Chains A and B, each alone.
Chain A
Amino acid sequence: MMTESVNGSGQWQRISPLSMIHHLLQFLRQLAGSPSAFAGMAAAGYAFFTRSPQQALGLITGVLLLGLLCLVASWLRFGYRVHNGAIQVRRGVLTRQRLTLQMERIQTLRLEQPPYLRPFGLVRLSIESAGSGAQEVHLAGIHRDWADRIRQQALSHGAGEEASPDEQAPPGDTTATRGETLLTRRPGDLIRYGISSPLILWGALVVGSLLSAALRRLEQNGAAEQQLQTLLSRITDIMPLWAAYLSILCGLIGLLVVFSIALTLLRYSGYRLQRQGDRYIAHSGLFTRREQMLRQHKIQHLSLNQNAMARLLGRRHLQCHQIGLDTPEGPESSRHLTAPALDLADQTRLMARFQPGLDFAQLRFHRVSPRLMLPTLALWLPLWALGLAGTWLNGGNGLLLALWLAALPLIPLMAWLKWRRTGWVLHNGYLVLRRGLVGVGFVSFAPFRAQKVTLAATPLQRRRGLCNLIIGLSSGAFMIPCLEERDATALMDHLLAEMISSRASWL
């Protein structure tokens, strides 16, 4: 192991005062990323300024001086050093923090040289441990030579200048086309995916926004509102009111489906999944061609989902998740690779590649305690009773009351279905969890991929000797609820033993 310091002595080093520009820019970027906060501040500032310009100027000057003071204090307190094969950072004025990152834990290392650092030969060095974005080390202004030496040390410890997980293959890369094709999707498959995928929620978002904008315009335009009223009265002349509402609802759902299908075709048109060495490459996209790449050993867990609509269509959607939590950054996150609308044969073929030895047909799931049904009943039965009482007190007609009463059996049915669907099984070195209601979803991973395990119990669960087992992976956390305590303890021991004894690369 290399233990000598990059700077020779292992002494704490300051970064350049120009780093304050970086922090200032970051603050402005955050402000711009939160329009509501920005608008609130601007409105308050404007109101204050029109009321008393002198006081407002004084306040602004005070705030600016305070900000500058904070920046300088943070810069004075910030220090870094490379010592004993680790990079250490100390920071914080009131709350002092010290961060130690072992060189061999470094996942990615990025050097950037913004214009304000270039004339001084300084660079910005960003170091990330695997996936822990919030805790990465930012040295926002250090000399180029030192940054290069730190990078060399990190590389000599085997750390990765690994390509990012969602690395893009170079455009026109002909090697990609030489891989073995595992899956292609035709427009028919994609239409099925569009109908049954979570993309329909994005369709709902688009339709909701359009409707909201249209309603706002109607409120502003009296003539248009009048026309709408006339149209509604004409419709009610043709059909009863309930039929009109039902038609509108069906129309809206149809619109959602159309949007979802359109989004799917845009995103997945020409979908082709290939294997090349230990890499899977998914090509897709109608206008923007995407080539998403994922290495076999980077797969943390697989999720196989079949919602109610997908069950009707006989399809399942498979996702390979890698390190990092999914963020709501768009219709499809780049943190997982999706194989859409699989039939049973596709699913079996792909699962055999992604997780060899895991045969879904042979899985016999262990059930959890039937007490899992209690929280569902405890939540929905009082809500149902409140709804019934409200309908009755508001003079609801007989049909409405009958509908409420008819809905009662749905609550225990829902609780029972949820319990029936929940299960877990250890099979051929994989832990598979099942959950669902009308649809069903599976999550499977090798136990050594876990990184922490938590046993948690509510007071009622403890009385019955039950608890929840929460398994944390670098790609997400999964819970097995209402387990017998001895089963949960045994499973926790097994997972810990696998994590500790496994020699396989887990990230």
Chain B
Amino acid sequence: MQNPSLPPHELPTVARIPWQRLHPRYPLLSLIASLTSWLLGVAVAAGLMLGGVLPLTWLGFTLLALLLLLPALMAWPAARAKRFAVRRHDVLFREGLLWRSMTALPRSRIQHIETQSGPLERAFGMMTLRCYGAGGQQADLAIPGLEETLCQRLRQHLLEVESGEGDYRSDPPPAGSTEGASDQPRREPADDD
């Protein structure tokens, strides 16, 4: 039996994660979806204003629309800030520009996985991977903007039953995310802020 010593800097920690970017066109998709929602909202508001339901002047309406355009445009940088990482025993997702969050979900805690692709995602060849744990009705972890093939392989990898105890350390990404050069996401330094 081998039991090599582990220097402290090799101990597994979420502080050193090899984050990976989502699909390069995901920010564009996100922006299109966001601007579409904004346009729909503006159209409905304009209809209500013309119908006399919304007591707004054209100046007020324009200012309001421009104000709401700002968060819609933020969809681009927000999408660029999203990252995911797959280690041997868990999957992680990071998001947020101002309010940041990082979620880790061990593979052993995944109850089932769902892949989802709306019309826009299908047009861009992307999918969303949703991992469900136990006890909730919402996905515990959702990774949007994954290339379809990668998403399917990631799903398969995460569903595989872990064999053996394995060593719990900062493992390289699994075969599912490293096989093949065509759909391998770009690797990034641990801290890209």
Q: Are A131 and B136 in contact (CB under 8 A)?
A: yes
Report how many A-B pairs have Cβ atoms within 8 Å: 142
Closest chain-B Cβ to A507's Cβ sits at a distance in Å of: 6
Instruction: Pull 18 A–B residue pairs with CB atoms less than 8 Å apart, ordered by A.
Output: A95-B117, A100-B112, A100-B159, A129-B112, A130-B135, A135-B137, A325-B135, A325-B136, A453-B103, A454-B102, A456-B96, A489-B13, A493-B13, A496-B14, A496-B104, A500-B89, A500-B90, A500-B168
Q: Are A501 and B165 in contact (CB under 8 A)?
A: yes
Q: Which residues of B contact A (CB under 8 A)?
A: 11-15, 89-90, 96, 98-106, 108-109, 111-119, 122, 132-138, 140-141, 155, 159, 161, 165, 168
Q: Are A455 and B159 in contact (CB under 8 A)?
A: no
- Across the two chains, which residue of chain A brings its CB closest to B100? A457
* CB contact under 8 A between A102 and B159, given known A135-B132, A452-B141: yes
What are the residues of chain B within 8 A of A455 when measuring CB–CB?
A: 14, 101-103
Alpha-carbon separation in the docked complex, A133 to B99 (Å): 30
Closest chain-A Cβ to B180's Cβ sits at a distance in Å of: 21
What are the residues of chain A within 8 A of B14 when measuring CB–CB?
A: 455, 489, 492-493, 496
Q: Are A507 and B134 in contact (CB under 8 A)?
A: yes
A97 CB-CB contact with B under 8 Å? yes
* CB contact under 8 A between A134 and B137, given known A97-B116, A499-B109: yes
A19 CB-CB contact with B under 8 Å? no
Alpha-carbon separation in the docked complex, A364 to B22 (Å): 43
A175 CB-CB contact with B under 8 Å? no
Q: Are A452 and B140 in contact (CB under 8 A)?
A: yes
A297 CB-CB contact with B under 8 Å? no
Alpha-carbon separation in the docked complex, A499 to B101 (Å): 20
Pick from B11, B108, B135, B161: contact of A131, CB under 8 Å: B135
Pick from B96, B98, B103, B112: contact of A99, CB under 8 Å: B112
Top 4 A-B pairs ranked by shortest CB distance?
A474-B135, A134-B137, A131-B135, A130-B134
- Across the two chains, which residue of chain B brings its CB closest to A486? B15
What are the residues of chain B within 8 A of A462 when measuring CB–CB?
A: 100
- Across the two chains, which residue of chain B brings its CB closest to A497? B168
Q: Are A95 and B118 in contact (CB under 8 A)?
A: yes
Alpha-carbon separation in the docked complex, A475 to B112 (Å): 17
Closest chain-A Cβ to B161's Cβ sits at a distance in Å of: 7
What are the residues of chain B within 8 A of A133 when measuring CB–CB?
A: 137
A218 CB-CB contact with B under 8 Å? no
What are the residues of chain A within 8 A of B102 when measuring CB–CB?
A: 454-456
Q: Which of A133, A473, A474 has the most CB of B within 10 A?
A: A474
Closest chain-A Cβ to B115's Cβ sits at a distance in Å of: 5
Within 8 A of B (CB), among A471-507: 472-476, 489, 492-493, 496-497, 499-501, 506-507
